[in-house]
Structure 1
Amino acid sequence: MAAASSIRVMVVEDFQPFRRFVTSKLEQRPELQVVCEVSDGLQAVEKAEELKPDLVLLDIGLPTITGIEAAQRILGFAPGSKIIFATQETSPEFVEEAMRLGAWGYVFKKYAKRDLLLAIDAVLSGERFVSSNGVHRGLSDTL
Structure 2
Amino acid sequence: MRQLSPSSKIVFLSLYNSPDVVQGALSTGALGYVHKTDARSELLPAVDAVLRGRQFVSSSLKDYEFTNTAGEKAPHRHEVQFYSDDAVFLDTFARFIAVALKAGDAAIAVVAESHRDGLVLRLKTLGVDVDAATQQGTYIQLDAADKLSTFMVNDMPDAARFFEGFSNSIQSASKAARARHPRVAICGEGVALLWAEGKREAAIRIEQLCNDLAKTHKVDILCAYPFSLHVQEDEDAFRSICGEHSAVYSQ
Per the normalisation by structure 1, the TM-score is 0.52
* Gap runs ≥5 in structure 1: 105-127, 133-143
Tell me the equivalent position of 2:116.
19
| Counterpart Cα distance in 2 of 1:75 and 1:42 | 20
Q: 2:139 aligns with which of 22, 34, 38?
A: 34
The superposition leaves residues 60-102 of structure 1 with CA deviations (integer Å, 9 ceiling, x where unpaired) of 2336x84443332232133342222222234324554333113
Q: Does 1:50 align with 2:168?
A: yes
Alpha carbons 2:242, 2:248 under 8 Å: kept? no
Q: Does 1:71 align with 2:203?
A: no
Calculate the aligned-residue CA RMSD, in Å: 3.5
Kindly tell me the number of residue pairs found equivalent between the two proteins: 107
Residue identity (%): 11
Alpha carbons 2:113, 2:143 under 8 Å: kept? no
Q: Does 1:91 align with 2:210?
A: no
Aligned-partner SS, 2:210:
helix
Per the normalisation by structure 2, the TM-score is 0.33
Tell me the equivalent position of 2:17.
none
Tell me the equivalent position of 2:75.
none
Higher alpha-carbon deviation: 39-48 or 79-88? 39-48
| Counterpart Cα distance in 1 of 2:213 and 2:222 | 17
Report 1 or 2 for greater relative contact order, CA contacts < 8 Å, sequence distance ≥ 6. 2
Matching of residues 85-124 of structure 1 within 5 Å: 85-88=223-226, 89-92=229-232, 93=235, 95-102=238-245, 104=246
Higher alpha-carbon deviation: 31-40 or 20-29? 31-40
In the TM superposition, residue 16 of structure 1 has moved relative to its aligned partner by: 0.5
Aligned-partner SS, 2:192:
coil
Alpha carbons 2:187, 2:223 under 8 Å: kept? yes
| Rg larger in structure | 2
| Counterpart Cα distance in 2 of 1:37 and 1:96 | 28
